[in-house]
Structure 1
Amino acid sequence: MGPATLPDLEEVLARLHVVGIPLRTRFRRTTVREVALLEGPTGWGEFGPFPEYGPQEASRWLGAAIEAAWGSSAPSLRAEVPVNATVPAVAAADVLPVLARFDGCTTAKVKVAEPGQRLRDDVERVAAVRRHLGRDARIRVDANGGWSLAQARDAVAALAPFDLEYVEQPCADVEDLARLRVALAGAGLDVRVAADESIRRAEDPLRVARLEAADVVVVKVAPLGGVARALQVVADCGLPAVVSSALDTSIGIAAGVRLAAALPDLPFACGLGTVELFTGDVVADSLVAHDGVIDVARAVGVAATPDLLDRWRVDPERERWWRERTTAAHGVLTAGTA
């Protein structure tokens, strides 16, 4: 599983397509999602590190794209993957139209701790999700490390009455995640803590398990360097895993589905519904959930449509920027320091 050798930079650049697709709602301070797509001999890969990521971090994303486009797939252990709805930090009144885009999903991940908003906004948003999905639905919240330890304690206490499945990356520091787990247990709050950034953006993702800082790990193919590496991280952590995406098109989602299909255990719905947040896609038959699941077979052989690549192609200046970025990331992979 994975590419035997790193393709030459010239070959990578020759197979590169850069697109920018507007989002329906501002997400992660982003209104247009730009990614570079690679058309390789064995499939398509997506290279979409966020703009603030340097070459070292971006190189793992390029490695994942190369694995998808030049490598082989892991064996599938299941035929379908359950998917959660994703609710950006919208007003409570706008929750229902967002949920309506996710066909049959009975789990929702709700963004909280948005800069410029208050805890009251988070409570109202989560309350609206619970009201619309009903009491049997599963709700998880994602703070993207936006709370201090004290703020996280207060926020989880305020949100716990909505029966949270878990709170994702409430604090930025691994040590604070560990302290929060202890504090929640001491307060009698039975809410799991999940680690995301502490896994995908860490030099040592296994530190979360060693410090007992999380009950759940969130894994994403691209930031971890590919499906093979993500599978190894999950195995080494020894914790239940949720597969998520990084605001991906259907090309990136396909890699996430392949990872979820290859995991020995999949106890939670996966965050693989980000295509629903876009106004368009690069695949004619978008890889989105139907009746709450994505069929794994649909993730095999997913390919970009030429007309859609042309429609969403970025301007020449942005194309040059992405090619320079790809070159820098490829240099890190060539040096073997990723």
Structure 2
Amino acid sequence: MQPDIEDLLRTARVVAIPLATRFRGIDVREALVMRGPSGWTEFSPFIEYDDAESAAWLRAAIDFGWSDTPTLHRDHIRVNATVPAVDAAEVPSVLARFPGCRTAKVKVAERSQVLADDIARVSAVRDALGPEGRIRVDANAGWNVDQAERAIHALATFDLEYVEQPCASVEELAEIRARVADFDVPIAADESVRKASDPLAVARAGAADIIIVKAQPLGGIHAALRIAGEVGLPVVVSSALDTSVGISMGAHLAAALPQLDFDCGLATTALLSGDVTRSPLDPVGGAIRVERVDVDTDLLDRFEASPERRTWWLDRLRRTHELLG
């Protein structure tokens, strides 16, 4: 079902929620939530994304708010902690926001930092999680192939579960995967899937061992399920620093996958200082619930974006809706 723009605008609310820790270079997360026949849904492409890229996020919002939910195979999803590019001394306090999580994803390759900072941060996570904990690192395409090889060699000593998007292009991923084959460190592709015109190219090129799928950037649950079914690689479901509405979308995607071998990156509400619901999908015992959330009008009012930002988002919604045809 393709709702018209008035259907979307009728319940649209724009929020600006402060982050507990600076992440992705931002201190406040803005998002637009709205209610469809199936429940609340979210449209929250990052500010720097253009309308063409944002169109997939709107398709996802419409898919979740105006379509039936696929068959679900589980009612809870095990999730990982997310450690931003903080000083190593801050790692214990960050991990404390993710009770029961046995896995941590650690951000590396921050532009303002050096490899020694990454090593110190990952070491602190290993100390906190102990030998049984699982550590994955995410470079967000921040390294070239030589830098990635050097970094993976240095970080492999911490027994990495995988390295996410070490380099930008599919060709670079294939090369670094070949170079580090002896390290027994799998390569996961994120941006090379969600930002690609052909999300399956990374698998055809033998450039990754694992793919990361995110409901919003891939156009919704049903589109992401099709990609996961065709790619022929293990899948990790992740989020994009969403409110609990967007996290609910990701949790439903993870629950709809027939096989789910890895803890998912769906605990990022723990990085926010607020939410739009009184029952946020925060991790409990290392897992989150699979359910739609009820949005609280008092919280919408509390975190309501400024009139200027509301206008910006509603204009973006109109422009992006036009692109859907």
Instruction: Tell me the TM-score range normalised by the shorter chain.
Output: over 0.9
Task: Report whether the alignment pairs 1:70 with 2:71.
Answer: no
Task: Report whether the alignment pairs 1:269 with 2:263.
Answer: yes
* Cα distance in 2, alignment partners of residues 135 and 230 from structure 1: 33
Question: Letter of the aligned partner of 1:331 in structure 2?
Answer: E
- 1:139-165 deviations in Å (ceiling 9; x for gaps): 000000000010000000000000000
Equivalent residues, number: 325
Q: Is the 8 A contact 1:145 1:171 kept in 2?
A: yes
Question: Letter of the aligned partner of 1:140 in structure 2?
Answer: R
SS state at 2:217 partner = helix
* Cα distance in 1, alignment partners of residues 116 and 321 from structure 2: 45
* Cα distance in 1, alignment partners of residues 288 and 27 from structure 2: 26
- 1:180-219 deviations in Å (ceiling 9; x for gaps): 011011xx21000000001111111000011010000000
* Cα distance in 2, alignment partners of residues 141 and 195 from structure 1: 12
- The residue aligned with 1:228 is 222
- The residue aligned with 2:314 is 323
| 1:183-222 to 2 correspondences below 5 Å | 183-185=179-181, 188-222=182-216
Q: Is the 8 A contact 2:38 2:67 kept in 1?
A: yes
TM-score, length-scaled by structure 1: 0.95
TM-score, length-scaled by structure 2: 0.99
Following TM superposition, by how much is the alpha carbon of 1:321 offset from its aligned partner in structure 2, in angstroms?
0.3
* Cα distance in 1, alignment partners of residues 289 and 305 from structure 2: 31
Task: Report whether the alignment pairs 1:252 with 2:246.
Answer: yes
Equivalent of 1:304, from 285, 295, 311?
295
- The residue aligned with 1:332 is 323
* Cα distance in 2, alignment partners of residues 260 and 251 from structure 1: 15
SS state at 2:99 partner = coil
- 1:40-65 deviations in Å (ceiling 9; x for gaps): 12101110001111111101101111
Question: Letter of the aligned partner of 1:116 in structure 2?
Answer: S
Equivalent of 2:84, from 76, 88, 101?
88
Following TM superposition, by how much is the alpha carbon of 1:72 offset from its aligned partner in structure 2, in angstroms?
1.1
- The residue aligned with 1:36 is 32
* Cα distance in 2, alignment partners of residues 285 and 303 from structure 1: 8
* Cα distance in 2, alignment partners of residues 31 and 52 from structure 1: 15
* Cα distance in 2, alignment partners of residues 86 and 224 from structure 1: 21
Kindly, what percent of the aligned residue pairs are identical? Answer: 55
* Cα distance in 2, alignment partners of residues 112 and 287 from structure 1: 26
CA RMSD, Structure 1 to Structure 2 (Å): 0.7
- The residue aligned with 1:152 is 148
Question: Letter of the aligned partner of 2:37 in structure 1?
Answer: P
Following TM superposition, by how much is the alpha carbon of 1:293 offset from its aligned partner in structure 2, in angstroms?
1.0
Question: Letter of the aligned partner of 2:77 in structure 1?
Answer: V
SS state at 1:222 partner = coil
* Cα distance in 2, alignment partners of residues 79 and 21 from structure 1: 27
* Cα distance in 1, alignment partners of residues 40 and 286 from structure 2: 25
* Cα distance in 1, alignment partners of residues 23 and 156 from structure 2: 24
* Cα distance in 2, alignment partners of residues 22 and 177 from structure 1: 34
Question: Letter of the aligned partner of 1:326 in structure 2?
Answer: L
Equivalent of 1:25, from 21, 28, 47?
21
Equivalent of 1:110, from 97, 106, 112?
106
SS state at 1:110 partner = strand
* Cα distance in 1, alignment partners of residues 75 and 259 from structure 2: 13
Task: Report whether the alignment pairs 1:171 with 2:167.
Answer: yes
* Cα distance in 1, alignment partners of residues 219 and 159 from structure 2: 34
- 1:305-331 deviations in Å (ceiling 9; x for gaps): 000000000011101100110011101
- The residue aligned with 1:133 is 129
Question: Letter of the aligned partner of 1:156 in structure 2?
Answer: I
Question: Letter of the aligned partner of 1:319 in structure 2?
Answer: R
Following TM superposition, by how much is the alpha carbon of 1:79 offset from its aligned partner in structure 2, in angstroms?
2.5
* Cα distance in 2, alignment partners of residues 88 and 75 from structure 1: 34
Following TM superposition, by how much is the alpha carbon of 1:295 offset from its aligned partner in structure 2, in angstroms?
2.6
Question: Letter of the aligned partner of 1:313 in structure 2?
Answer: E
